[in-house]
Amino acid sequence: MSSIIGRNEECQILKHCFNSNKAEFVAVYGRRRVGKTFLIKEFFRKRFTFYFSGVENTRNVIQLQNFNAAIQLYGKMHFPVANNWFRAFDQLADILSNIKSKDKKTVFIDELPWLDTTNSHFLQALEYFWNTWASSRPDIMLIVCGSSTSWMINKLLKNRGGLHNRTTMQIHLKPFTLNECELFAANRKYGLNRKQIAEMYMILGGIPYYWDLLKKNESVPQSIDRLFFHDSGILKLEFDKIYNSLFKHSENYITIVNTLAKKRIGLTRDEIVKYSGLSNGGTLTRMLEELEQSSFIRIYYGYSKNVRDKLYQLVDFYSLFYLNFIKGKRINEKRYWTKIIDTSVYKTWCGYAFEMLVLVHEKQIKQTLSIEGVLTNSYSWISKNTQTKAQIDLLIERNDKIINICEVKFSNKEFVIDKKYDETLRNKKYTFVEETKTKNAVHLTMITTYGIAHNMYWNNIQSEVVLDNLFG
């Protein structure tokens, strides 16, 4: 397990299930490239009692032939190719019954959704295998995995038939945190400092596959140029692949993502319908849920806490970068990112992307403020007074009667609060208190890369969070 970076909680779950005294049915899901298969293979060091993977866009007869090959490989027994999945799982039960082992027998079926082809009855056969045989065997650990989040959630986790509530454990594998990316970069000897790791995260997010594409002899701008702006840039063509592999009718999901990318603070459901042209109904609800469960968007509330004010915000860093700099753009410069690093375009992007980086590391912010044990809720807020234009992207309302108004600033050195910005902060705080009529104490919290310069205005700030804190 030494090759696994981070993923401590997930490894503890797998260890617990492996050592339990009952049958375990573990479902692992998450967005494409997040490392699901790698985690399972490396945790068990590829020592499975049985392993099989579905193949995308492949006829059922070929899938069954591949399954038969795995049966013969792991079972050391000859069976004719099954003509249906019920018979195929019978053969699997036969070989598992004949394998002697002191440890739990681990069965790993990867890319499960690709096996559920039209008229294959695969899901019904899996249900029959688990309910009539495997679930009563305390020596069996069945692990299933799939990148098609919509299938994993709707067909398996929310199954209303014989597989309803049959999984004993679910692992939603999410992107790496900054801390895990730092461990990954150190393991690969990339030689990146924390600011460079943050800048890379602001483009690639915490997707291990993308981080594995970096080279240790390149700077951050050089890596981004090679991956995105060269003619053969591997991440230049990744966008459609992601959504096509995860979702049926992916064009509708892409429409939602495109719509959300145009409003950084997020949109309400009504606004999504208005700007996207999609119908407002159960299908939209399902698509938004699946995008959230795949870590592409987050759902949060405005400070009014009104359900109609619920906001949907795009937080997938790769998608945000692609839609801002690649899609529909005619950039023929192979060193584009290197050349713009001192321009206003680059600085504006960094400011926006750093705000997103902060939002997905809220847990680390709470740790820094020593409020991880306090019940909290996080909101955004926009003043109704169009003249003040006051807006708060992150405020943390605490059960100890304090509200932290968080201001986020990206800078290459200590951030300096001047007279004008001090007035802006005072006005924002005053407007918030007046409009919301809050009785709580309101604290200003600055979240910056390198902290605040200690000049005559910094004492108005109650607490600070710096980039190092986000590595938690």
What confidence category does residue 1 fall into, taking pLDDT thresholds of 50, 70 and 90? very low
The answer to whether residues 187 and 115 belong to one domain is: no
Predicted confidence at residue 2, as pLDDT, reads 55
Among the listed residues 10, 28, 18, the one whose alpha carbon sits nearest the alpha carbon of residue 138: 18
CATH number of the structural domain spanning residue 164: 3.40.50.300
Which token pair is 276? 């996207």
The answer to whether residues 229 and 121 belong to one domain is: no
What value does the mean pLDDT of the chain take?
A: 93
Predicted confidence at residue 182, as pLDDT, reads 97
Of 123, 138, 172, at which residue does a domain stop? 172
Residue 422 lies in a domain: yes
Of 172, 189, 221, at which residue does a domain stop? 172
Residue 2 lies in a domain: no
Of 137, 172, 207, at which residue does a domain stop? 172
Q: What is the DSSP letter of 35?
A: -
Residue 31 lies in a domain: yes
CA distance 275 to 290: 20
Q: Are 453 and 415 in contact (CB under 8 A)?
A: yes
Residue 3 lies in a domain: no
3-state secondary structure of 269: helix
Predicted confidence at residue 127, as pLDDT, reads 96
Enclosing domain of residue 248: 239-322
The answer to whether residues 90 and 164 belong to one domain is: yes
Residue 1 lies in a domain: no
Residue range 234-238: average pLDDT? Answer: 93
CATH number of the structural domain spanning residue 248: 1.10.10.10
User: Is 133 buried (19+), middle (13-18) or exposed (0-12) by CB count in 10 A?
Assistant: middle
The answer to whether residues 220 and 278 belong to one domain is: no
Helices and strands of the chain, counted as H and E runs: 20, 13
The answer to whether residues 54 and 195 belong to one domain is: no
Among the listed residues 83, 107, 110, the one whose alpha carbon sits nearest the alpha carbon of residue 95: 107
Domains of the chain: total: 4
CATH number of the structural domain spanning residue 447: 3.40.1350.10
Residue range 276-287: average pLDDT? Answer: 93
pLDDT tens-digit map of 9-55: 999 999 999 999 999 999 999 888 999 999 999 999 888 999 999 99
pLDDT tens-digit map of 98-152: 998 889 999 999 999 999 999 999 999 999 999 999 999 999 999 999 988 888 8
The answer to whether residues 336 and 403 belong to one domain is: no
Which token pair is 161? 């038939």
User: Is 279 buried (19+), middle (13-18) or exposed (0-12) by CB count in 10 A?
Assistant: exposed
Which token pair is 381? 């807020």
The answer to whether residues 332 and 442 belong to one domain is: no
Radius of gyration of the chain (CA): 25
3-state secondary structure of 369: coil
CA distance 214 to 223: 6
Residue 88 lies in a domain: yes
The answer to whether residues 152 and 60 belong to one domain is: yes
pLDDT tens-digit map of 59-98: 999 999 999 999 999 998 889 999 999 999 999 999 999 9
Among the listed residues 41, 45, 40, 67, the one whose alpha carbon sits nearest the alpha carbon of residue 54: 67
The answer to whether residues 54 and 158 belong to one domain is: yes
Residue 72 lies in a domain: yes
The answer to whether residues 79 and 149 belong to one domain is: yes
Terminal Cα-to-Cα distance of the chain (whole angstroms): 23
The answer to whether residues 317 and 334 belong to one domain is: no
The answer to whether residues 26 and 156 belong to one domain is: yes
